[in-house]
Amino acid sequence: MSNPLLSPALRRTLLEAVVLCVFAFAVGVSINFRVVFDAFSGRTVSATRIAQTAPVVEAQPDAAQPELFPFPAMLEELDALVADGALLVDARNADAYRAGHLPGAVSLPLGELDAKLAGFKEQVPLDRIIIAYCSGYGCPDSFDLGVRLLQEGYAEVLVYEGGIPEWHDAGRPLEGAGQ
Amino acid sequence: MSKFGTIAYHVCRLALAVIFIYAGMIKADDVVGFAGQIANYRILPYAWNYLVAATLPYLELLCGILLLLDKRVRPALLVLFVLNLVFIAVLTSAILRGFDIDCGCFRPNSEHPSPPQAALIRDIGFGVLMIVTWLLRSVQVRKEVE
C-alpha cells in the first residue's frame, strides 16, 4: 500500500539519502577503524603515537640510550593501579586542575615541568607507578609528560589517554569540581 | 526554467559543493582534533565523539562531490539539510548553556575559531541556500519531464 503523503519521487529521494548516509558511515569507519576501535576499547592515541615515533628511534642506532615511551592505561585498570600505589598526575595547566581533577591526582603541568620537576622528584620516589592524564581527544601533554618522566628515571609511567572527559562520562566524580 | 534560473541553480549547487567538500576534507584530515571539538558541546559520551568525527566528514565530502557532479542532487541536499538542522540545534544548545567554544565547523584547532553565534547565523544562511537549490532543482526536473 502506498503512502499518500510521500510521492514516489520523494520516497526515492529519501531512500537514496539513507543509502548515502550508510555508505559514508561505512567509508568513515573503514578509514578510521583504528581510531574508532581504540576509542571504544578505552585506548586512544598513545599506541598510535608510539608507532609513529618508533621508526625515528630505530633510525638512530648510535643513540646513547633508547628512547622510552609510556604505555597506555585504560579506565578499567585505574582503580587497581591506584590501589597498588600508583600516583595520578594531571598534566594540564594549574587552572584546569583547580577546576576539577581525578581524585587523588597531583598537578604537574607540562608547561611548568622544568620549574616543578625537582620538587616532584623529592616527593615521589622513582619506583612509584605514575599515571599521567590530560584532556583526552589527542591531548599530547600527558604523553609528553610521560616521556619526560621516563627520561628522568621513573621506572613505570603510564598514560591514561581518556583523561578528564572519559572519566567524567563514566559518571565518576572529579575532585575540586564546583568549588 | 529560465536561463537566469538555470544559472542560479548551478551557482547555488557549486557554492554548496565547495563549502562541504572543503569542510569534509579538512575535518577528515584531523579526526582526533575534530572529536575534541564535538566533545566541547558535551552532548555525546566519550567514544561516540570519535565515531561521529570519523564518519561525519565523509558524509559532507560525499554530498559535496555529488553536488559538484550534479548527480543525486536532491538526496545530497536532503542529507545536508538534515545535518544543518542538527548543527543549528547543537549550536543553539551551546549558546543557551553559555559555552564559549569554537564551533568546529571547519578546521579543527583553528587559530581563528568561530564562536557558536557566528556559526549559527552561517548555518541558517546555508539552510536557506539549500532550500533555494532544492526549489530550483525541482523546477529544473519538472521542466525536463515536460
Mean pLDDT split into 10-residue runs, chain A, 179 residues: 72 95 96 87 54 43 61 87 94 90 94 92 94 86 91 92 87 79
Taking the Cβ of residue B47 and every Cβ of chain A, the question of whether any pair is shorter than 8 Å is answered with yes
Taking the Cβ of residue B23 and every Cβ of chain A, the question of whether any pair is shorter than 8 Å is answered with no
Domain A46-169: give its CATH superfamily: Rhodanese-like domain (3.40.250.10)
Q: Confidence class of residue B87 from pLDDT cuts 50, 70 and 90?
A: very high
Location of C-alpha cell 581504540: A38
Amino acid B110: pLDDT: 61
CB contact (8 A) between residue A137 and residue B39: yes
Nearest by Cα to B54 from B33, B40, B68: B33
Amino acid A4: pLDDT: 64
Amino acid A158: pLDDT: 92
Q: State how far the Cα of B85 lies from the Cα of B120, in Å rounded to an integer.
A: 10
Q: State how far the Cα of A96 lies from the Cα of A113, in Å rounded to an integer.
A: 16
What are the φ and ψ backbone dihedral angles of A11, each rounded to 5 degrees? -60, -40
Amino acid A43: pLDDT: 63
CB contact (8 A) between residue A39 and residue B50: yes
Q: What count of residues does chain A have?
A: 179
Candidates B50, B73, B81, partner chain A, best to mutate (most A CBs within 10 A): B50
CB contact (8 A) between residue B51 and residue A29: yes
Let me know: does A45 contact A138? Beta carbons within 8 Å: yes
CB contact (8 A) between residue A32 and residue B54: yes
Chain A: residue nearest B83 by CA?
A21
A21 assigned to active site? no
Picking from A1-10, A77-86, B74-83, B115-124, which range would have the lowest pLDDT averaged per residue?
A1-10
Q: Inform me whether the pLDDT recorded for B142 exceeds 60.
A: yes
Determine how β-strand A87-90 pairs with β-strand A106-107. parallel
Let me know: does B64 contact B17? Beta carbons within 8 Å: yes
Amino acid A39: pLDDT: 81
CB contact (8 A) between residue B75 and residue A39: no
| C-alpha cell belonging to residue B118 | 557566528
Q: Inform me whether the pLDDT recorded for B59 exceeds 70.
A: yes
**Among A23, A36, A137, whose Cβ lies nearest the Cβ of B54?**
A36
Rounded to the nearest angstrom, the minimum Cα separation between A119 and chain B is: 32
Chain B: residue nearest A40 by CA?
B47
Residue range B36-47: average pLDDT? 84
Which helix (H) or strand (E) segment holds residue A19: the answer is helix A8-31
